[in-house]
């Protein structure tokens, strides 16, 4: 079967949150981008609210701003003004006030469907982006000058570089011969949205219980998103509860500060685990986002890290484009590989109190126990560093995340 | 197009020969192979060339995405090899002609450009031949070539004559200093084995002042000159004030 050949500077496999953000960031640098997505776009944009939200850190917000996608979601983004971290019963609490750092909020909570709609609308309006959806890939070939994707409808996509943004269970990752390491945490996370009687005032709360942490993230419209991790042994009991009993458990842990609570949307349960690709690249291919490393199955918790991949790859592409260099040559891929390996490691190593809301990491718990939360509360420099880390402002940041042009 | 689906229209080229061209191209374009130093040097050279040709700073203004900066420029790359410089220049928008006396290099260059969907005119020819045909260009590049020609003066004449008035020549070569002897001959050819032994004859190297004089005699004014330094720690080349070993210059044809 013969058909049209789409030539692009970058082919992106997967048109989800990460794939679309990458397409926009690369196109902002002047690249011509082809996005291949299995689902029809209409299905993706029309999806009703499914309860999943993303905590967008400041660095990520800057990137979204730079690629023109933030405007489409700003009205539905709840700023996080304060974060309170503490043990369930102890008196010690650390309160991170955004004014410690500056005027900017510590982050924003946005519904995934809102982000998706904003990204897709922007991508469709961009003359440098061609979205092929629904499109099924039936073959992938490594050629001298790039990767070729054969689509089921007979079309072909030809690009010097293929970015794989298919999520943690990426099939293309396996096709590229990149193995993934997996580690189960033995915990299950429950995620749901609550309607509140009283306003949350932009306060995010995280409390540590002996059987796992419990977080409440403020959303627009007097709602909160609950993220509650539990040992697998206990998780089964909670899963079996009906909505009313489930709410009762939540209220017991959370207290009655916000008045009556009501469920909005379905309850999700995710097994917690880590999926990490052994390498970030293969010849003429790069993994981005969850396909590279899924630090948390709760949608969006890993997206800040994914956007760092996006910012890094877009920056490498723009730098090479400025010099007329092949975007998918080994030198470009080596740079990405080194950048991401170091950053991923640094993120795991340089962890902190609120980061737990954004990533999944046990350091704050240790911090709380070893040094006492009160000590952190009083040590402003430590607190500032912790906050900058969680706001996505630490490490070797891509230009887009520092508020700079590509 | 897969490797096996390729058809060769030129009956004069046999399959063994074609395989050899592909092998040559693969070797030239292997960033970790024998041409590694050239690949490593390429970004620096391209930044310098863009600066000289587009008279623009290295970075674009913030409100504009990076884009083809050499649009519409008629450019000749002398000694193009398999197209390591010609291809990026074509991507930047220049209309590029690449010449090399080696037919094999040209065939390899053609195949590589075609595979990448790039439009570059490659010809097995010398600068003198193009001059005889009456061709003229907005810009001429001759990188690491002049140290290999037997008659640098005659070569400079040809390069200058191929330029339209106001056109720009970018030339790079090796300085004749103890440092260049140590690095380019002892270091690159013997110690690091980056280059085959005998690649360079140190006595033929031109000092920047000698190159400038040579060009001035042909009506070319040097307006930009920079050293290219290698930082072994970062394994990276960068433009520098030190012109002791590699240097690159830009000269404009007066009139």
Cβ-based burial of B36 (10 A; exposed 0-12, middle 13-18, buried ≥19): middle
* Contact between B116 and A146 using a beta-carbon 8 Å cutoff: yes
Interface of A with B (CB under 8 A): 7, 28-30, 141, 143-146, 158, 160, 318, 321-326, 329-331, 404-406
Mean pLDDT score, B223-229: 93
Task: Compute the nearest-CA separation of A175 from chain B (Å).
Answer: 18
Interface list for B 208-247 with A (CB within 8 A): none
The answer, for B5 touching chain A at a CB cutoff of 8 Å, is no
Interatomic CA distance for residues A371 and A369, integer angstroms: 6
Nearest to B66 among A29, A145, A146 (CB): A29
pLDDT for the residue numbered B10: 35
Residue ranges, chain A, pLDDT below 50:
299, 346, 348-373
* Contact between B65 and A324 using a beta-carbon 8 Å cutoff: no
Q: Which residues of A touch B1 (CB under 8 A)?
A: 143
Q: Which residues of A touch B96 (CB under 8 A)?
A: none
Q: Which residues of B touch A146 (CB under 8 A)?
A: 116
DSSP type of residue A145 = T
pLDDT digits (tens, 9 = 90+) for A243-252: 999 999 888 8
Sequence-distant (6+) residues with CB within 8 A of B1 are A143, B115
Terminal CA-CA length for chain A: 40
Query: Three-class SS string for chain B?
Result: CCHHHCCCCCCCCCHHHHHHHHHHHHHHHCCCCCCHHHHHHHHHHHHHHHHHHHCCCCCCCCCCCCCCCCCCCEEEEECCCCCCCHHHHHHCCCEEEEEECCHHHHHHHHHHHHHCCCCCEEEECCHHHHHHCCCCEEEEEEECCHHHCCCHHHHHHHHHHCEEEEEEEEEEEECCCHHHHHHHHHHHHHHCCCCCCCCCCHHHCCCHHHHHHHHHCCCEEEEEEEEEEEECCCCEEEEECCCCCEEEEEEEECC
Cβ-based burial of B165 (10 A; exposed 0-12, middle 13-18, buried ≥19): exposed
Sequence-distant (6+) residues with CB within 8 A of A142 are A283, A284
ipTM score: 0.81
Interatomic CA distance for residues A106 and A98, integer angstroms: 6
Task: Compute the nearest-CA separation of B46 from chain A (Å).
Answer: 6
Nearest to A160 among B3, B43, B116 (CB): B116
pLDDT digits (tens, 9 = 90+) for A114-128: 999 999 999 999 999
Integer angstrom CA distances of residue A291 from A111, A123, A306, A309: 21, 21, 9, 11
pLDDT for the residue numbered B126: 93
Give the tokens for residue A81.
């003004």
pLDDT for the residue numbered A311: 96
Percent of chain A with pLDDT over 90: 50
Residue with tokens 């094999």: B104
pLDDT for the residue numbered B32: 85
Interatomic CA distance for residues B100 and B87, integer angstroms: 14
* Contact between B65 and A29 using a beta-carbon 8 Å cutoff: yes
pLDDT digits (tens, 9 = 90+) for B101-158: 888 889 999 999 999 999 999 999 999 999 999 999 999 999 999 988 889 999 999 9
pLDDT for the residue numbered B16: 65
Residue B183 has pLDDT above 60, yes or no: yes
* Contact between B32 and A330 using a beta-carbon 8 Å cutoff: yes
Cβ-based burial of B122 (10 A; exposed 0-12, middle 13-18, buried ≥19): buried
Pick the residue of A323, A325, A326, A400 with the most B CBs within 10 A to test the interface with B by mutation: A323
Q: Contact, B245 vs B175, CB < 8 A? A: yes
Torsion of CA A18, A20, A23, A29, to 10 degrees: -80
Torsion of CA A329, A334, A336, A342, to 10 degrees: 180
Residue B8 has pLDDT above 60, yes or no: no
Q: Which residues of A touch B65 (CB under 8 A)?
A: 28-30, 318, 406
Task: Compute the nearest-CA separation of A168 from chain B (Å).
Answer: 30
Sequence-distant (6+) residues with CB within 8 A of B56 are B50, B69
Task: Compute the nearest-CA separation of B48 from chain A (Å).
Answer: 10
Nearest to B66 among A158, A322, A326 (CB): A322
* Contact between A143 and B116 using a beta-carbon 8 Å cutoff: no
* Contact between B31 and A405 using a beta-carbon 8 Å cutoff: no
Using 50, 70 and 90 to split pLDDT, how confident is the model at B67? low
* Contact between B42 and A325 using a beta-carbon 8 Å cutoff: yes
Task: Compute the nearest-CA separation of B63 from chain A (Å).
Answer: 8
For A157, nearest residue in chain B (alpha carbons):
B1
The answer, for B90 touching chain A at a CB cutoff of 8 Å, is yes
Nearest to B116 among A30, A145, A330 (CB): A145
Cβ-based burial of B183 (10 A; exposed 0-12, middle 13-18, buried ≥19): buried
Task: Mark residue A363 as left, alpha or beta (left: phi above 0; alpha: psi -120 to 50; beta: remaining).
Answer: alpha
Nearest to A323 among B1, B32, B43 (CB): B43
* Contact between B67 and A146 using a beta-carbon 8 Å cutoff: no
Mean pLDDT score, B145-172: 94
Neighbours of A124 (CB within 10 A): 13
The answer, for B42 touching chain A at a CB cutoff of 8 Å, is yes
Q: Contact, A110 vs A307, CB < 8 A? A: no
pLDDT digits (tens, 9 = 90+) for B79-101: 999 999 999 999 998 999 999 98
* Contact between B112 and A146 using a beta-carbon 8 Å cutoff: no
Peptide bond into A134 cis (omega under 30): yes
Task: Compute the nearest-CA separation of A157 from chain B (Å).
Answer: 11
Task: Compute the nearest-CA separation of B154 from chain A (Å).
Answer: 31
Q: Is the dihedral of CA A181, A287, A130, A6 positive or negative?
A: negative
Q: Contact, A37 vs A190, CB < 8 A? A: no
For A319, nearest residue in chain B (alpha carbons):
B66
Contact pairs from chain A to chain B, CB under 8 Å: 63
Minimal CA–CA distance to B96: which of B128, B51, B49? B49
Give the tokens for residue B243.
């012109």
Nearest to B66 among A30, A143, A404 (CB): A30
Interatomic CA distance for residues A174 and A279, integer angstroms: 11
Task: Compute the nearest-CA separation of B68 from chain A (Å).
Answer: 8
Q: Contact, A131 vs A157, CB < 8 A? A: no
For B23, nearest residue in chain A (alpha carbons):
A144
pLDDT for the residue numbered A167: 92
Q: Contact, A131 vs A15, CB < 8 A? A: yes
Q: Which helix (H) or strand (E) holds A330?
A: helix A330-349
Interatomic CA distance for residues A172 and A164, integer angstroms: 7
Sequence-distant (6+) residues with CB within 8 A of B233 are none
Q: Contact, B170 vs B159, CB < 8 A? A: no
Minimal CA–CA distance to A198: which of A254, A266, A114, A268? A254
Q: Contact, A348 vs A361, CB < 8 A? A: yes
Q: Which residues of B touch A321 (CB under 8 A)?
A: 66, 91
> How many residues are listed for chain A in this entry?
406
pLDDT for the residue numbered A372: 46
pLDDT for the residue numbered B193: 64
Residues β-bridged to residue A167: none
The answer, for B119 touching chain A at a CB cutoff of 8 Å, is no
Q: Contact, A8 vs A159, CB < 8 A? A: yes
Q: Contact, A360 vs B124, CB < 8 A? A: no
Interatomic CA distance for residues B198 and A79, integer angstroms: 67
Residue B68 has pLDDT above 70, yes or no: no
Residue B209 has pLDDT above 80, yes or no: yes
Q: Which residues of A touch B46 (CB under 8 A)?
A: 323-325
Give the tokens for residue A169.
């269970």
């Amino acid at each position: 079967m013969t058909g049209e050949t789409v030539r692009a500077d970058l082919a992106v496999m997967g048109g989800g949150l990460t794939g679309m953000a990458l397409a926009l960031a690369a196109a902002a640098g002047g690249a011509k981008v082809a996005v291949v997505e299995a689902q029809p776009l209409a299905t993706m944009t029309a999806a009703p609210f499914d309860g999943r939200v993303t905590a967008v850190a400041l660095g990520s917000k800057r990137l979204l701003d730079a690629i023109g996608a933030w405007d489409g979601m700003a009205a539905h983004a709840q700023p996080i003004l304060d974060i309170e971290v503490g043990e369930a019963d102890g008196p010690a609490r650390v309160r991170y006030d955004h004014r410690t750092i500056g005027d900017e909020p510590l982050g924003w909570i946005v519904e995934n469907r809102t982000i998706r709609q904003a990204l897709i609308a922007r991508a469709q309006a961009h003359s440098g982006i061609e979205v092929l959806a629904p499109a099924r890939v039936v073959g992938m070939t490594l050629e001298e000058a790039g990767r070729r994707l054969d689509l089921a409808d007979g079309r072909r996509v030809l690009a010097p570089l293929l970015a794989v943004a298919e999520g943690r269970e990426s099939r293309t990752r396996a096709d590229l011969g990149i193995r993934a390491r997996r580690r189960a945490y033995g915990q299950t996370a429950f995620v749901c949205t609550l309607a509140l009687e009283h306003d949350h005032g932009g306060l995010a709360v995280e409390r540590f219980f002996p059987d796992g942490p419990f977080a409440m993230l403020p959303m627009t419209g007097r709602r909160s998103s609950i993220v509650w991790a539990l040992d697998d042994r206990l998780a089964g009991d909670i899963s079996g509860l009906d909505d009313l009993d489930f709410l009762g458990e939540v209220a017991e842990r959370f207290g009655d500060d916000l008045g009556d609570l009501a469920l909005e949307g379905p309850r999700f349960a995710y097994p917690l685990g880590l999926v990490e690709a052994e390498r970030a690249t293969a010849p003429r291919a790069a993994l981005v986002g969850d396909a590279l490393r899924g630090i948390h199955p709760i949608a969006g918790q890993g997206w800040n890290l994914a956007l760092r991949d996006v910012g890094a790859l877009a920056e490498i592409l723009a730098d090479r484009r400025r010099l007329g260099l092949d975007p998918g040559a080994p030198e470009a891929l080596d740079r990405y590989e080194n950048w991401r390996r170091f950053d991923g490691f640094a993120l795991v190593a340089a962890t902190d109190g609120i980061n737990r809301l954004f990533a999944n990491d046990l350091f704050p718990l240790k911090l709380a126990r070893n040094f006492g939360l009160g000590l952190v509360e009083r040590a402003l420099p430590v607190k500032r560093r912790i906050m900058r880390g969680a706001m996505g402002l630490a490490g070797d940041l891509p230009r887009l995340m520092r508020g700079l042009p590509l | 197009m897969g490797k096996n689906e390729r058809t060769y229209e030129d009956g004069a080229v046999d399959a063994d020969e074609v395989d050899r061209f592909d092998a040559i191209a693969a070797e030239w374009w292997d960033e970790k192979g024998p041409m590694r130093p050239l690949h490593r040097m390429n970004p620096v050279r391209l930044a310098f060339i863009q600066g000289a040709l587009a008279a623009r700073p290295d970075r674009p203004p913030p409100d504009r995405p990076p884009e083809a900066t050499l649009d519409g420029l008629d450019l000749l790359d002398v000694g193009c090899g398999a197209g390591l410089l010609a291809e990026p220049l074509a991507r930047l928008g220049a209309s590029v002609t690449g010449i090399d006396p080696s037919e094999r290099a040209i065939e390899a260059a053609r195949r590589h450009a075609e595979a990448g969907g790039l439009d570059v005119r490659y010809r097995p020819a010398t600068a003198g031949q193009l001059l005889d045909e009456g061709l003229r260009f907005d810009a001429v590049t001759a990188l690491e070539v002049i140290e290999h020609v037997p008659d640098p003066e005659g070569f400079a004449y040809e390069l200058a004559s191929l330029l339209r008035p106001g056109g720009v020549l970018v030339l790079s070569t090796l300085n004749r200093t103890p440092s260049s002897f140590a690095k380019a001959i002892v270091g690159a050819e013997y110690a690091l084995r980056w280059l085959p032994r005998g690649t360079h004859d140190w006595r033929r190297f031109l000092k920047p002042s000698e190159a400038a004089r040579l060009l001035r005699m042909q009506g070319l004014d040097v307006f930009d000159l920079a050293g290219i330094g290698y930082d072994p720690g970062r394994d990276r080349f960068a433009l520098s004030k030190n012109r002791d070993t590699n240097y690159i210059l830009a000269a404009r044809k007066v009139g």
